Structure 1
């Protein structure tokens, strides 16, 4: 009995298959090199220099007298604030800050003020208003008293 065996598969791929695999590798290598060159060009040429504005240095803290503010539904808020001034800021009048506090907190619900997220949102709004009112001489605001009833 004679049996024929199938020829063993060759370990080497045909020339066409080699050319296709090598072409894909070349394209991938070119794309990778271009991405690296683009990233390096951005890093050295286009990124922000970081020298545009120097960081403000904290100066004195101006503590203002607490005020009572009417809230919604016959509640009230007794709030005290302190302003973090930048170094070299001239003596500031606190009336603009107290006006902003009254404007922002008046008429709010006591519920809104007792939640940390609500207080944080209003503090951020107050900080923004104070930066504008004092033309950048106030860099932060702190609550020194915060009582609702």
Structure 2
């Protein structure tokens, strides 16, 4: 009987060592796998998005000449704009596209549509969106903002 008890204890020890070995192997696989996944997300997951469309950096401000736009009911808008260029613009930006967009956007508007700051800011935001889109080529923005330097309604 003593021999049988000893054999049972040896088998339990061997079985316990096997379970411990399996637990250690599984834990190592989980830790290494988690580290690999973490490294992937830390180094590779966002790098493609950042390189595809870098944030524009401000450069020179290009001032366009003032123009007069016909509003509704015989009124006029004298408007001058300036374009905030980016470092992507290697040469001076031609303002003719921006002025054409200004004329298209403001022509025949009612004076009431431009009389409050809130309405002017809404028009400016829409104008900025259109101008930035017009001066973007192959995901490189050459203009990042539009400023009103003169805005007179008569």
Alignment TM class, shorter chain as reference? 0.5 to 0.7
Alpha-carbon distance, 1:114 to partner: 1.3
Q: What CA distance in whole angstroms lies between the structure 2 residues aligned with 1:132 and 1:140?
A: 11
After superposition, residues 13-52 of structure 1 pair within 5 angstroms as: 49=46, 51-52=50-51
Verify the 8 A CA contact 2:135 2:143 in the aligned structure 1. Answer: yes
Moved more, 127-136 or 60-69: 127-136
Residue 121, structure 1, aligned to residue 126, structure 2:
no
When the two structures are superposed, what TM-score results if normalisation uses the length of structure 1?
0.65
Residue 137, structure 1, aligned to residue 142, structure 2:
yes
User: 1:111 — aligned with what?
Assistant: 112
Q: What CA distance in whole angstroms lies between the structure 1 residues aligned with 2:122 and 2:96?
A: 22
Q: What CA distance in whole angstroms lies between the structure 2 residues aligned with 1:134 and 1:55?
A: 15
In structure 1, the gaps of 5 or more residues are: 1-40
Alpha-carbon distance, 1:82 to partner: 0.1
| Two-structure CA RMSD over aligned residues (Å) | 2.1
When the two structures are superposed, what TM-score results if normalisation uses the length of structure 2?
0.63
Moved more, 70-79 or 51-60: 51-60
Residue 61, structure 1, aligned to residue 66, structure 2:
no
Q: What CA distance in whole angstroms lies between the structure 2 residues aligned with 1:138 and 1:92?
A: 8
> What whole-Å deviation, never above 9, does each CA across 1:4-34 have from its counterpart, x for those lacking one?
xxxxxxxxxxxxxxxxxxxxxxxxxxxxxxx
After TM superposition, what 4+ stretches of structure 1 lie above 6 angstroms from structure 2?
Answer: none
Q: Secondary structure at the match of 1:55?
A: coil
User: 2:82 — aligned with what?
Assistant: 82
> What whole-Å deviation, never above 9, does each CA across 1:69-104 have from its counterpart, x for those lacking one?
000111100000000000141221111011000000
Alpha-carbon distance, 1:65 to partner: 0.4
Alpha-carbon distance, 1:51 to partner: 3.2
